[in-house]
Amino acid sequence: MTERIGIFNAGPAVLPEEVLLEAQKDLFNYKGCGQSVMEMSHRSPVFQGIIDDAMARLKDLMGLGDDYDILFLLGGASTQFLMIPMNLCPDDKTCNYVNTGTWATKALKEAKKLGKKMHIAASSEDKAFTYIPKEMDITDDAAYLHITTNNTIRGTEYHWIPDVNIPLIADVSSNFLSKPMDFKKFDMIYGGAQKNIGPAGMAFVVISKKIQEKLPGNVPTMLDYKTHISKGSMFNTPPCWTIYIVGLVAKWIQDNGGLVGIEKINKEKAGYIYNAMDRTDFYSGPVVFEDRSLMNIPFRLPTEELEKKFIAEAAQENFIGLKGHRSVGGCRASVYNSLPLKWAQKLGHFMDEFAKNNG
Ligand SMILES: *Cc1c(COP(=O)(O)O)cnc(C)c1O
C-alpha cells in the first residue's frame, strides 16, 4: 500500500502527515548534526534546544507563562493517577474526584490504594457514564478536585470548566489542545501524549507554581514532582524522540490557526460523523446531546452482527480503529486533531451508504 489510510484509533493515534514527513526528512541526520534525535545525548545543546522549543510552543498554545512548569514524564497518564494523590493530598485532607468513566475510576482507585481520604464529588455511573455531572458535592477539607475533561471510552466531554475555589486538576489526555480552554483555571493538567499530541511513551504534566508550594518533599525521588521540576524535566533520561515529535505537533497546530483554528476544523470533522448518526435511526449514540465529545464518537448499530459487518466493510475502504473499546462494545470513531478532514468526511459518507444498504 502506498497511500495512507483513515486512522480512527483511540490511541496511539493518527499524527499529522506534515509532521511525519518532516521527522522522516530529519530522521537520519538531524539538521546536519550528523546524528538522529534518537541517538543524541539528552545533555547536548541540540537536544536542550528541542525540549525548550517543545515546552515554549505548548505554553504559547495554552497562553501560559512562567507561573507554570511543563514536565515530560515516563509511565503514561496512568502513573499520574498515583503521583497526584501522593504529592498533592496530605493525610489530613480529602481528595475529591468526579467519576465520569473508566479512566476517572482508575484515577480515584489509586488515591484509595494509597490510603488517602477520597470522596466522589459527582458521578455519572447511574446512567452508564453517558453524561457529565453538572452538580458537585465537594468536601470542606478538599485537597483538590480531579476531573477528566474528555472520556475517551464513553465519548463524553466537558464543554465548560468547573468553578471551584480549591485546586483543580484535570486528566486532559484525549482532548488536549483540541480547542481553546482557560488553562489558567487549572492548577495541574496532564495526559498521555499518544492521544492528541504525539507518539506513545510519555505523559505531559503542566503544573502551576502556586500548587508547587504544597508539595511535601517526602515522596520517593522519581515520583516526586519536585525532582522533575528542579531539573527541567531531565532528572533522568527523558523520552527524547517523543518530546521531539510533540514539539513538531505543537508547531503544526500553531501553523494551522492555533487552538481557534483547530477547534473549527475539529467541529467540522465531528459534524460529518454526528450528522450521519443523527440523519437516521439506524445509528444510535449513547451520549446526552450537550455532552458529546468532539474527539471520541461512540455509536451503535441495530445489532452486533451489523456492527461486525460495518467494521469489516469499513476496513475494506481503509478505515481502521472503528471498533468500540472492549469494555463497552459497539463502534467508536476517534477524530483527533491530526485526522485529516477528508477522512472524517469520507466516514460520514460511508455511514450514510451503509445505513441505506443495511437499514
Ligand atoms: C488513554 C487514557 C489514559 C491512559 O493513558 P496511558 O498513557 O496509557 O497511561 C488516561 N486517561 C485518559 C482520559 C485516557 O484516554
Do residue 237 and residue 91 come from a single domain?
yes
Within a domain: residue 351?
yes
The residue from 221, 255, 289 where one domain ends is 255
The residue from 229, 255, 281 where one domain ends is 255
Question: Which residues are identified as catalytic?
Answer: 103, 171, 195
Within a domain: residue 211?
yes
Do residue 148 and residue 169 come from a single domain?
yes
- Long-range CB contacts for residues 253-262, cutoff 8 Å, separation at least 24: 253/61, 253/177, 253/337, 254/57, 254/60, 254/61, 258/61, 259/61, 259/177, 259/178, 259/179, 259/180, 259/181, 260/180, 262/177, 262/178, 262/179, 262/337
Domain hosting 205: range is 31-255
Within a domain: residue 52?
yes
Q: CA angle at residue 177 from 174 to 179, to 5 degrees?
A: 100
From 9, 78, 148, mutation site for ligand 1 pocket: most ligand atoms within 8 A of C-beta = 78
At 238, which CATH number?
A: 3.40.640.10
Within a domain: residue 94?
yes
pTM of structure: 0.98
Do residue 50 and residue 171 come from a single domain?
yes
Beta-carbon contacts of 314 under 8 Å, excluding residues fewer than 6 positions away, are 320, 322, 347, 350, 354
The residue from 234, 255, 276 where one domain ends is 255
Do residue 190 and residue 228 come from a single domain?
yes
Within a domain: residue 262?
yes
How far apart CA 232 and CA 79 sit, in angstroms, is 19
Within a domain: residue 344?
yes
Ligand 1 site, CB within 6 A: 11, 76-78, 103, 148, 152, 171, 173-174, 192, 195, 203
Within a domain: residue 105?
yes
359 residues of the chain, pLDDT tens digit each: 789 999 999 999 999 999 999 999 999 999 999 999 999 999 999 999 999 999 999 999 999 999 999 999 999 999 999 999 999 999 999 999 999 999 999 999 999 999 999 999 999 999 999 999 999 999 999 999 999 999 999 999 999 999 999 999 999 999 999 999 999 999 999 999 999 999 999 999 999 999 999 999 899 999 999 999 999 999 999 999 999 999 999 999 999 999 999 999 999 999 999 999 999 999 999 999 999 999 999 999 999 999 999 999 999 999 999 999 999 999 999 999 999 999 999 999 999 999 999 98
Within a domain: residue 249?
yes
Number of domains in the chain: 2
Q: How far is the CA of 46 from the centre of ligand 1 (A)?
A: 30
Q: How far is the CA of 350 from the centre of ligand 1 (A)?
A: 29
Strands 94-99 and 142-148: parallel
Do residue 119 and residue 181 come from a single domain?
yes
